[in-house]
């Protein structure tokens, strides 16, 4: 049996963070209904779109049932209320004012089901001067200080390649739901309102950079592929690509130099310690760059691995997904899509020995299960469903 078998989730959220939380809950057995406006989640239209389906949407909606619902209509509000009464968890990502207008603020939802686990995901948090401001991943990369420290030293700020703040926020929401469901089961609480935001996630992900500034006054510079406090630890160009190599301590520095045949560099007393290498960063990196350019990436990885030096090839996504280690960890799932085509989606990054994830089927088409949900969950007949569709409630 899956960990969340019997748990019913109403996913009213959009784009990435909230839907990714809903997908994880579905992966672990929850019955998740994704509710979209009649026009659909905005990320359904974000490129690339293949056979009418957006990669962005497909990435976070696996294993859900999908329906459309016009929450601005009285009939839509009645259906929402009926579904909330039958749900253990509701996920939303509406701004506070919008949530109030649509009847999905916490007091209104809790009046329908007092023991509800209600997750609200926002851009900037529930308090403060920006609580009413919408936020996307890229905006928070800029606001949080992440973008300012990302890029080359002689260039401008750069966006990280993945929408990792969105995805990490979804994981935090999932952990919050797990904790709240346990608290309810253990009798420690009835329902709870879980509030997470992209801003809080981003600041938390700064990690050691926070005390580095608050305690030592250090603002991290843009260091390209490297980090300012460990030298060397970055990507170096090779004959056929790039290799990531690093010396995370002084012993690793000596092993690195021996492995790449840089005996004179390793013996130079001016580079012997971490502090010295930071001070002489340009000279150290220049000398190593000249050496790494002489061989292919795979050869350097072989030599550095043998010497127990931190290293990795700099793969593109195609190489990473094809790697046997990624496949062995089942991080690429082959999901049956509509029309008999196969969808390769990212796997579940969480392993439970007794109640493992059982990823579901293809993400739902817009409104794919509207009729069946209304029939099975609420007992609506064909005539009533047709009338709701005619008046624009679904």
Please list the active-site residues: 166
| Tokens 């784009």 found at | 15
Q: Determine contact, residues 297/236, Cβ cutoff 8 Å.
A: no
- Environment class of residue 155 by beta-carbon count within 10 Å: exposed (0-12), middle (13-18) or buried (19+)? exposed
Q: Quick count: other Cβ atoms within 10 Å of Cβ 379?
A: 9
Give how far Cα 71 sits from Cα of 12, 15, 85, 117, Å.
10, 18, 16, 20
Backbone phi, psi, residue 45, to 5°: -105, 0
* Residue-wise DSSP of 53-93: EEHHHHTT-TT-EEEE--TTSHHHHHHHHHHHHT-SEEEE-
Q: How many CA atoms lie within 13 A of 282 on its CB side?
A: 1
CB of 263 within 8 A of CB of 248? no
Cα 125 to Cα 131: distance, rounded to the nearest angstrom? 5
Q: If 0-12 CB within 10 Å is exposed, 13-18 middle and 19+ buried, where does residue 390 land?
A: exposed
Look up tokens 């049956």; give the residue.
336
- Please list, in sequence order, all residues whose beta carbon lies within 8 angstroms of the beta carbon of residue 266, skipping any fewer than 6 positions away: 253, 254, 256, 257, 258
Tokens for 56, please give them: 């962005």
Q: Which two tokens stand for residue 280?
A: 């002489």
- Residues 152, 153, 159, 163, CA torsion sign: positive
Q: What is the largest distance, in Å, between two alpha-carbon atoms of the chain?
A: 85
Cα separation, 47 vs 343, whole angstroms: 16
């Amino acid at each position: 049996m899956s960990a969340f078998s019997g748990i019913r989730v109403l996913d009213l959220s959009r784009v990435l963070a909230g839907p990714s939380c809903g997908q994880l809950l579905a992966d672990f057995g929850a019955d998740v209904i994704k509710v979209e406006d009649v026009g659909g989640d905005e990320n359904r239209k974000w490129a690339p779109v293949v056979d009418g389906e957006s990669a962005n949407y497909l990435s976070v909606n696996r294993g859900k049932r999908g329906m459309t619902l016009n929450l601005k209509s009285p009939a839509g509000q009645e259906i929402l209320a009926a579904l909330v009464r039958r749900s253990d968890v509701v996920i939303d990502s509406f701004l506070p004012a919008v949530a109030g207008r649509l009847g999905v603020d916490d007091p209104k939802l809790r009046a329908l089901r007092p023991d509800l686990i209600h997750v609200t995901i926002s851009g900037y948090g529930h308090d403060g001067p920006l609580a009413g401001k919408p936020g996307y991943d890229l905006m928070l990369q800029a606001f949080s200080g992440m973008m300012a420290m990302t890029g080359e030293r002689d260039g401008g700020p750069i966006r990280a390649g993945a929408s990792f703040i969105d995805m990490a926020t979804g994981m935090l929401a999932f952990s919050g739901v797990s904790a709240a469901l346990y608290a309810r089961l253990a009798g420690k609480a009835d329902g709870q309102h879980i509030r997470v935001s992209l801003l809080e996630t981003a600041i938390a992900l700064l990690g050691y950079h926070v005390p580095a500034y608050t305690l030592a006054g250090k603002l991290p510079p843009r260091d390209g592929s490297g980090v300012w406090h460990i030298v060397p630890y970055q990507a170096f160009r090779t004959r056929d690509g790039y290799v990531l190599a690093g010396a995370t301590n002084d012993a690793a520095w000596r092993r690195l130099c021996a492995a790449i045949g840089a005996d004179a560099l390793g013996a130079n007393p001016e580079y012997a310690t971490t502090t010295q290498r930071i001070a002489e960063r340009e000279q150290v990196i220049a000398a190593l760059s000249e050496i790494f350019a002489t061989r292919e990436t795979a050869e350097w990885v072989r030599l550095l691995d043998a010497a127990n030096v931190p290293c990795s090839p700099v793969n593109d996504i195609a190489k990473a997904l094809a790697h046997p280690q990624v496949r062995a960890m089942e991080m690429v799932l082959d999901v049956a899509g509509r029309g008999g085509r196969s969808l390769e989606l990212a796997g579940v990054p969480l392993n439970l020995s007794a109640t493992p994830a059982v990823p579901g089927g293809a993400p739902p088409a817009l409104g794919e299960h509207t009729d069946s949900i209304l029939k099975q969950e609420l007992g609506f007949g064909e005539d009533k469903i047709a009338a709701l569709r005619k008046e624009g409630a679904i």
